[in-house]
Amino acid sequence: MAGMAMADELGDSSYKQVQGLTRGLAVLRALTASANGRAQISDISAATKLHRTTVRRLLETLGVEGFVERSGDDGAFQLTQEIKRLADNFSVFDNVAAAAADVLRDLTAEVTWPCSLATPYEHMMEIRAATHHLSPLSFHRGVIGRRLPMLLTSMGRAYLAFSSNVVRERTLDLIAARYELGEVPLMSLSTFRQILARTQEAGYGSNFGDWTADKKVAAIAVPVRGERNTVVACVNVVAITRATKPQQLAAKYLEPLRAAAKRIEKAL
């Protein structure tokens, strides 16, 4: 079993393709490309180069699974909302995380320190990609999925500083509400707004032992922008407070970090 899993993971060409799945996906693509997401069996057969009987069997299977349905008017098959639900589950945040993997690997090879990419999750930033397992200087493991407070971390500060005013204010309202419920640590919001102003002026977010839960962390972060210049993620370089000084972080790592963010943006 382990051998099969490894062959599959590495894309071993000897691993047999599941022909039925490939043909089913071809039928779905043909329907997606057709007008209004619906077509006759003959049209799908022509588009996929599959025999009409094969197309019918595939459509009936997809119908049982809820992905297609047959119209009562002309007998054409059409996509259902189930397909849209599958697509909706793959968000822009998944897309940016996938685009970041190779870029982060290259960034760590250049700067040696580990780096991460995080996306917003309510009042937190959730780490979606990281190279802590690749860096010889890493002091963390298993960071994927970890949620970081926006107010106290470099990526959270970068996200809020460079997001739109509407996003920033709504997120701060959410943080304040969570604070009132005793769910989040909160410095004075007026103090935090001063930090955001300095972050905007500097062009990057920073954290030098500010988060009590991880006081040895020193980090800088920059935003990653998607469509309409919206901030969809932030990427950072993480060092140790005792190994560096605040002014050294930007001097050494800001330009490689910005270049990495631009590469991720181009890949989106």
Tokens of 23: 């043909």
Query: For the segment 31-60, what is each residue's pLDDT rounded down to a tens digit?
Result: 888 876 789 999 999 999 999 999 999 999
What is the rounded end-to-end Cα distance, in angstroms, of the chain? 35
pLDDT score, position 32: 83
- Domain-terminating residue out of 67, 88, 109: 88
Per the CB < 8 A criterion, the answer to whether 104 and 211 are in contact is no
Query: 135 with 24, same domain?
Result: no
pTM: 0.69
pLDDT score, position 188: 76
- Domain-terminating residue out of 88, 119, 142: 88
Query: 82 with 110, same domain?
Result: no
Query: 99 with 79, same domain?
Result: no
Query: 225 with 165, same domain?
Result: yes
Q: Measuring CA to CA, which residue among 229, 219, 117, 105 is closest to residue 162? A: 229
The CATH number assigned to the domain holding 32 equals 1.10.10.10
Q: Which of 29-33, 146-150, 263-267 has the lowest mean pLDDT?
A: 29-33
Query: 76 with 202, same domain?
Result: no
Query: 48 with 96, same domain?
Result: no
Angle at 134 between CA 138 and CA 216, to 5 degrees: 15
pLDDT class of 1 with cuts at 50, 70, 90:
very low
Whether 13 has a pLDDT exceeding 80, the answer reads no
The verdict on residue 199 lying in a domain is yes
The verdict on residue 2 lying in a domain is no
Query: 151 with 25, same domain?
Result: no
Per the CB < 8 A criterion, the answer to whether 82 and 67 are in contact is yes
The verdict on residue 203 lying in a domain is yes
Q: Which of 39-43, 105-109, 177-181 has the lowest mean pLDDT?
A: 177-181
Question: In which order are the strands placed within the sheet that holds 77-79?
Answer: 38-39, 77-79, 68-70
Query: 240 with 128, same domain?
Result: yes
pLDDT score, position 84: 66
- Domain-terminating residue out of 64, 88, 112: 88
Q: How many domains does the chain have?
A: 2
Domain that holds residue 262: 90-267
Query: 124 with 201, same domain?
Result: yes
The verdict on residue 13 lying in a domain is no
150/156 Cα distance (integer angstroms): 4
- What is the pLDDT averaged over residues 56-80? 86
The verdict on residue 194 lying in a domain is yes
- What is the pLDDT averaged over residues 118-145? 91
Place of tokens 């190779």: 102
- What is the pLDDT averaged over residues 94-100? 90
**Cα-Cα-Cα-Cα dihedral sign, residues 16, 17, 18, 19:** negative
Query: 57 with 116, same domain?
Result: no
Give the number of residues written for the chain: 268
